[in-house]
Amino acid sequence: APTQLVAQGTIPSVPVGTLSTNATVVRAGTKPTLTWNITYPSVVKDYVTVTPPSTVTPKQTLFVDVRVLGAGVTASQSNSSSFSYVPTEAQLKYDNSSYGRIFYGRNTDVNPNTIVYTRQVLAGKPLKFGGRYFFNNAWGPTYTTDSGTQNIRTLVCGDTPPSNLPGYNAPSLESFLKPYLDASGKVKIGPMDVIVYMELTHSDSQMSNSGYDLQDMVLLVTFRTN
């Protein structure tokens, strides 16, 4: 699994944490196991408006950096239980521009440390997101913020993901996503981050299908003041 990337914002926040031990009584000479966890509270909503399902609008002039965390569209091999990752495209729209490609590739091409899109954004000018996959020499359907569906979702640190997203310990959770959820299943990202989940292989009418899991493309959107 990739090392967790938590992009640092320029706004200080007060972290909260827990420290626990596997022992209720510690005897002299013993070494109990200590487990700690720190969560940085989200402050990003002080600087942007997050409008469900996936519009993010700055409240002031900011800079934005976008990284790809994973691209989980897969195809099974015929008569086999094995699968391979399928090329997937991430798109972004700023204000009144058209949707433009910011990433194209398989999950094996993803580097979560690479910034695939950066720019200055102005107050009141929204960012929107989209994606699609390429399989059998053809593009699948394109889903965007403007599609009028729930295929693209945006969340911030501390939010509870939609029930379609597999739980923290679920075997169907993609390894690239686990570092961005805490043990209780809530989103664990930086205080100035917004995470974007995309479902690209199923429509709204197929939400009850196990394949509708919002892991087909995942972006980390980080805002900063300079």
Instruction: Tell me which residue of 221, 222, 158, 195 sits closest to 10, measured CA to CA.
Output: 222
- Whether pTM > 0.85 for this model: the answer is no
**Contact 131/90 with Cβ under 8 angstroms?**
yes
Q: Kindly state the average pLDDT of the residues 120-145.
A: 98
Q: What is the pLDDT of residue 41?
A: 59
**Contact 188/39 with Cβ under 8 angstroms?**
yes
74: left (phi over 0), alpha (psi -120 to 50) or beta: beta
Stated as kind and residue range, the H or E segment containing 55 is strand 55-58
**Contact 110/126 with Cβ under 8 angstroms?**
no
Stated as kind and residue range, the H or E segment containing 48 is strand 48-51
pLDDT tens per residue, range 186-197: 999 999 999 999
Q: Kindly state the average pLDDT of the residues 130-156.
A: 97
pLDDT tens per residue, range 26-74: 777 778 787 766 656 579 999 999 999 999 999 999 999 999 999 999 9
Name the token pair of 144: 């965007």
- For the chain, what are the domain ranges? 16-224
